[in-house]
């Protein structure tokens, strides 16, 4: 692979400018900012590296698809070009779409999640083609634009173009190193139900002296939220845990291996907390992180939120709440249970809006692609990967691959301080080139691998 | 009084421009915006009408003081030049400091609370002086700039210049008409304790997939708030109600008279609620509004508050909470009880900041000034005033007058849709000129009144 690695080394500066170019374009799905423009830019990048792009429209963001190469094996690559909202803006050290490089790191909303990985993979294709002329396998890129809003319309693309999904395995959008620099790979994803709750009171804000007699929606929201989860972290929605599947003995073996390589205290200190939730550590920490569903207040707003005091009785209060779901919970079922819960607790008048829903997914842990990625990770990174049979995060894995039984593996250029979904999101450029080389090696080995050996 | 009323009629346009000029200057105490500038503008206005102003500095906003006139009687007039924050800006139909006039109403943050009344009173002084040459009594203006942040430094002025407070009665900053156009007057005020609670979690926002294991300050805040007040509106802080004094039989007679003149349903429809808190109405509604203390969430903010979804685990969550206090609750005592409550419920790590504290106040219901204001209200407004022995709102009445036993009466140019502390704050110019004339009549009658009759 030295020829391809040498090409990457020679083109580093150009590749960096390529990822900066994409990161400088805002593409905030939640706010419908820059989505069409960014889809066209992804198509342009595909053309640049030698792939003929096709844009497929949906009722939401377009899906950019492109395939290239031939051979007995087909590798699907899933990425997304949309990003999370950049707020709170005041906590960014450089503007979120400036794509500034400092100390070998690229800072931008979307650098880690997920434009960096996308561009690295496209650069890997270019590097292969420029060095060897043709890919040794068929590579299919599916790049969507609504991952950060629960891939709301990806199912339209999948249903209409199921042939584009057919493959022997899929490299998932992301992956990265933990705080001890262990590379991690993932073979499943949690689902999600993201809702917004809005309580209303008087039809306009009032002087807070009226709080004796006029209902306060902020209180109503606080009381309603208080019925959803208690201080022992138990989610109180009736039937919420009914379909939760415990990890299998095989899963537990993976979790034990993860726990053995994790330094809980270092991780705890790094994020600045005294203890993890309920004081868990070791194997229980890993198990809880990967196999427990959540009910998380992601946002709260009501009344006056500025500096100092304002004595106002708010007319509305909003909470954004995500439920991360584990196999075999179903977002539609959980939604019905949450609605019933609110009604039973006297909160039927709180408006509930669904902002996203995805199924959890399991994909085969023992697959050819998984073995290829594990072995090549060791070669490229010099360490065995930390293998997670499920990840704490969510993506459209059920929709895109799991429902078709396609082995799916997440690997990528992230690291412990990538700050995904948070201010100062970034990737280290060294990690990024490492992922680029890793992808080229995966092309090689997956093309060659037989079912008995990874190549 | 026809000579003075005629002067007012002839100078209407100039007086309107005067109040617009003051309203166009932002003076947001909570955000420390424009305070010094506005104090100087108030001094300029005093000079314009013929009063020599004096600016007294405090550790906070300056107090503008001016007195004029002579005679056996002294009338203190209390106003403030600071305003509430104008947010949420998007709900204003014209910019909050544009001071636009539409349909005979002046729209501006501060128009009702409290620049309108201040300017009306200054114009009343000018009108008297220009018509009759000299005031028939001594009028003292105390105009502070921190009323909206609990008059944090007014005590410094009061302590150093107690002689400026000495008077036979005080006209309080505001008053106005209820939804049935009954003019209201007030002779007491609630106190307040305004606190900000901040819960913190990880030292930076995290991807919400980490909510399985990393504590969420938004949940902590929700749980903590849930311990402060229950759904029956009972405030659960131990000892909170200990010093609450029930209304006297005389107070109850006032409350019955208020209830007899109020149309609860019209008021309810006007603000767009199905029922008042706990379904109260009639006498109980009035009693609850004036004699019950409150615990009000005035603001809530955590995590993502923008459009759509963001899957973030917040690193901090803030609530702004005001407690309106009734006689004989004391803000310092309530603060200690709230702190103890939070500690006892396991929330000692929630940071508590005091943003304001004021004592509740009672002033004599049967005073010469009260009788003068009642009788003149009937003459000017053509109706008996609705007399409240206490008001639902708060001000530094204890600090400025009640502690010295000075009879204090609130009357002013507000009305039911003045939107104090809320978007589209406004006054009706007809009400404003009515208050201006009323003030001139009060000067006349209070100067003449004997203790046996109002004049």
| Residue A263 is assigned to a structural domain of this protein | no
Please give the mean pLDDT across all residues of chain A: 96
For residue B33, the distance in angstroms to the closest alpha carbon of chain A comes to 11
Same domain, B139 and B164: yes
Q: Phi and psi dihedrals of A281, rounded to 5?
A: -155, 175
Domain assignment present for residue B16? The answer is yes
Say how far apart CA B85 and CA B61 lie, in whole Å: 16
**Is the domain of B114 the same as that of B209?**
no
| CB neighbour class for A9 (10 Å; exposed up to 12, middle 13-18, buried from 19) | exposed
CA dihedral B350, B356, B360, B363 (to 10 degrees): 180
Which residue has tokens 């993502």? B304
For residues B180 and B43, state if they share a domain: yes
In a domain, A15, yes or no: yes
CA A208 vs CA A51, A202, B78, B172, B392: distances in Å:
62, 12, 21, 19, 9
Q: Are residues A110 and A173 in the same domain?
A: yes
Q: What tens digit of pLDDT does each residue of B271-319 get?
A: 999 999 999 999 999 999 999 999 999 999 999 999 898 999 999 999 9
One domain for residues A100 and A229: no
Chosen from A199, A297, A423 to mutate, greatest number of chain B CBs within 10 A? A297
Q: Is residue A340 part of a domain?
A: yes
Q: What is the CATH number of the domain that holds B422?
A: 3.40.630.10
> Which of chain A's residues have a Cβ under 8 Å away from the Cβ of B230?
223
Tell me if B309 and A317 make a contact (CB, 8 A cut-off): no
Q: Is residue A273 part of a domain?
A: no
**Amino acid A452: pLDDT:** 59
Same domain, B83 and B132: yes
Domain holding B206: CATH number?
3.30.70.360
Contacts B346 to A, Cβ<8 Å: 231
Q: How confident is the model at residue B450 (pLDDT cuts 50, 70, 90)?
A: confident
Q: Say yes or no for a CB contact (<8 Å) between A423 and B205.
A: yes
Residues B222 and B308 occupy one common structural domain: yes
In this complex, is the C-beta atom of A89 within 8 Å of any C-beta atom belonging to chain B?
A: no
Q: How far is CA A439 from the centre of its chain?
A: 19
Share of chain B above pLDDT 90, in %: 96
Do residues A66 and A106 share a domain?
yes
Selected residue of A286, A295, A308, A357 to mutate for chain B interface (largest B Cβ count, 10 A): A308
Task: Tell me the average pLDDT across B224-252.
Answer: 97
pLDDT at A451: 72
Q: What whole-number distance in Å separates Cα of residue A238 and Cα of residue B174?
A: 51
A280–chain B Cβ distance below 8 A for any pair: yes
Interface of A with B in 119-138 (CB under 8 A): none
- Count of domains in chain B? 2
Q: Is A267 within the bounds of a domain?
A: no
Mutation pick from A224, A309, A350 vs chain B, by most beta carbons of B within 10 Å, is A309
Per-residue pLDDT of chain A (455 residues; tens, 9 = 90+): 999 999 999 999 999 999 999 999 999 999 999 999 999 999 999 999 999 999 999 999 999 999 999 999 999 999 999 999 999 999 999 999 999 999 999 999 999 999 999 999 999 999 999 999 999 999 999 999 999 998 999 999 999 999 999 999 999 999 999 999 999 999 999 999 999 999 999 999 999 999 999 999 999 999 999 999 999 999 999 999 999 999 999 999 999 999 999 999 999 999 999 999 999 999 999 999 999 999 999 999 999 999 898 999 999 999 999 999 999 999 999 999 999 999 999 999 999 999 999 999 999 989 999 999 999 999 999 999 999 999 999 999 999 999 999 999 999 999 999 999 899 999 999 999 999 999 999 999 999 998 754 44
Residue of B nearest to A148 (CA): B310
Q: Is residue B57 part of a domain?
A: yes
Q: What is the model's pLDDT at position B125?
A: 98
Shared domain check, B92 and B19: yes
Of A358, A381, A413, which residue constitutes the final position of a domain?
A358
Same domain, A344 and A393: no
If you measure CA to CA, which chain B residue comes closest to A205? B422
A309: closest chain B residue by CA = B30
Please check whether residue A211 touches B, CB under 8 A: yes
Q: Which of B325, B358, B391 is the last residue of a domain?
A: B358
CB proximity under 8 Å: B 384-403 to A: 391-394
* Cβ atoms of residues A323 and A193 within 8 Å: yes
A273 touches chain B (CB under 8 A): yes
Q: In this structure, is residue B287 part of a structural domain?
A: no
Residue with tokens 């955590």: B302
Instruction: Note the pLDDT tens digit of each residue in B124-167.
Output: 999 999 999 999 999 999 999 999 998 999 999 999 999 999 99
According to the 3-state scheme, what is the secondary structure of chain B?
CHHHHHHHHHCHHHHHHHHHHHHCCCCEHHHCECHHHHHHHHHHHHHHHCCCCEEECCCCCCEEEEEECCCCCEEEEEEECCECCCCCHHHCCCCCCCCEEECCEEECCCHHHHHHHHHHHHHHHHHHHHHHCCCCCEEEEEEECCHHHCCCCHHHHHHHCHHHHCCCEEEECCCEECCCCCEEEECEEEEEEEEEEEEECCCCCEEHHHHHCCCCHHHHHHHHHHHHECCCCCECCCCCCCCCCCCCHHHHHHHHHHHHCCCHHHHHHHHCCCCCHHHCCHHHHHHHHHHCCCCEEEEEEEECCCCCCCCEECCEEEEEEEEEECCCCCHHHHHHHHHHHHHHCCCCCCEEEEEEEECCEECCCCCHHHHHHHHHHHHHHCCCCEEECCCCCECCHHHHCHHHCCCEEECCCECCCCCCCCCCCEEEHHHHHHHHHHHHHHHHHHHHCECCECC
Residue A322 contacts B where some CB pair is shorter than 8 Å:
yes
**Domain edge (last residue) among A317, A335, A358:** A358
Residues B107 and B165 reside in one and the same domain: yes
Q: Note the pLDDT of residue B454.
A: 45
CA B263 – CA B279 distance, rounded (Å): 15
Q: What is the pLDDT of residue A393?
A: 92
> What's this model's pTM, rounded to 2 decimal places?
0.90
Q: Does A207 touch chain B (CB under 8 A)?
A: yes
Q: What is the mean pLDDT of residues B199-220?
A: 96
- Check the CA dihedral B225-B231-B233-B235 and report its sign: negative
The mean of the pLDDT values for chain B is: 96
Q: Do B277 and A213 touch (CB under 8 A)?
A: yes
Residues of B in contact with A225 (CB under 8 A): 219, 222
Could you write out the three-class secondary structure of A5-67? HHHHHHCHHHHHHHHHHHHCCCCEHHHCECHHHHHHHHHHHHHHHCCCCEEECCCCCCEEEEE
Between chains, do A225 and B222 touch, taking CB under 8 Å as contact? yes
Q: Does A112 touch chain B (CB under 8 A)?
A: no
Work out the burial of residue A260: count CB atoms within 10 Å of its CB; fewer than 13 is exposed, 13-18 middle, 19 or more buried: exposed
- Whether B74 and B35 map to the same domain: the answer is yes
* Residue among B205, B289, B297 minimizing CB distance to A212: B289
Q: Which domain holds residue B148?
A: 2-189+361-448
């Amino acid at each position: 692979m030295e020829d391809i690695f040498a090409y990457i080394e020679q083109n580093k500066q150009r590749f960096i400018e390529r990822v900066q170019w994409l990161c400088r374009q805002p593409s905030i799905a939640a706010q419908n900012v820059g989505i069409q423009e960014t889809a066209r830019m992804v198509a342009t990048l595909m053309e640049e590296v030698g792939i003929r792009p096709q844009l497929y429209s949906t009722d939401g963001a377009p899906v950019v698809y492109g395939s290239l190469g031939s051979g007995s094996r087909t590798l699907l690559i899933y990425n997304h070009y949309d990003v999370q909202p950049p707020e709170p803006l005041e906590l960014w050290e450089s503007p979120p779409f400036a794509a500034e490089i400092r100390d070998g790191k690229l800072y931008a909303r979307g650098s880690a999640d997920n434009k960096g990985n996308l561009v690295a993979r496209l650069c890997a294709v270019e590097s292969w083609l420029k060095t060897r002329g043709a890919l040794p396998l068929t590579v299919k890129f599916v790049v969507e634009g609504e991952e950060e809003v629960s891939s709301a319309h990806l199912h339209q693309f999948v249903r209409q173009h199921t042939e584009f999904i057919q493959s022997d395995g899929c490299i998932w959008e992301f992956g990265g190193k933990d705080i001890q620099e262990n590379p991690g790979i993932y073979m499943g994803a949690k689902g999600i139900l993201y809702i917004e709750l809005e309580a209303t009171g008087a039809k306009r804000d009032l002087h807070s002296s009226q709080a004796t007699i006029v209902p306060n929606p902020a209180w109503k929201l606080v009381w309603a939220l208080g019925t959803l989860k208690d201080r022992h972290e138990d989610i109180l929605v009736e039937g919420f845990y009914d379909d939760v599947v415990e990890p299998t003995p095989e899963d537990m073996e993976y979790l034990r291996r993860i726990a053995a390589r994790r330094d809980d205290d270092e991780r705890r200190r790094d994020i600045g907390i005294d203890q993890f939730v309920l004081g868990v550590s070791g194997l229980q920490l890993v198990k809880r992180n990967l196999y427990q569903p959540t009910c998380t207040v992601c946002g709260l707003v009501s009344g006056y939120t500025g500096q100092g005091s304002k004595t106002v009785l708010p007319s509305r209060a909003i909470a954004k709440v995500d439920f991360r779901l584990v196999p075999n919970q179903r977002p539609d079922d959980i939604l019905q249970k949450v609605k019933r819960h609110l009604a039973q607790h006297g909160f039927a008048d709180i408006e509930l809006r669904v902002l996203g829903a995805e199924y959890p997914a399991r994909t085969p842990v023992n697959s050819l692609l998984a073995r290829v990625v594990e072995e090549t990770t060791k070669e490229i990174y010099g360490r065995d990967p930390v293998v997670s049979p499920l990840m704490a995060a969510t993506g459209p894995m059920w929709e895109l691959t799991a429902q078709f039984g396609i082995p799916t593996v997440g690997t990528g250029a992230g690291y412990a301080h990538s700050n995904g979904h948070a201010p100062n999101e970034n990737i280290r450029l060294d990690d990024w080139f490492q992922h680029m080389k890793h992808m080229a090696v995966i092309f090689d080995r997956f093309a060659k691998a037989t079912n008995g050996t990874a190549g």
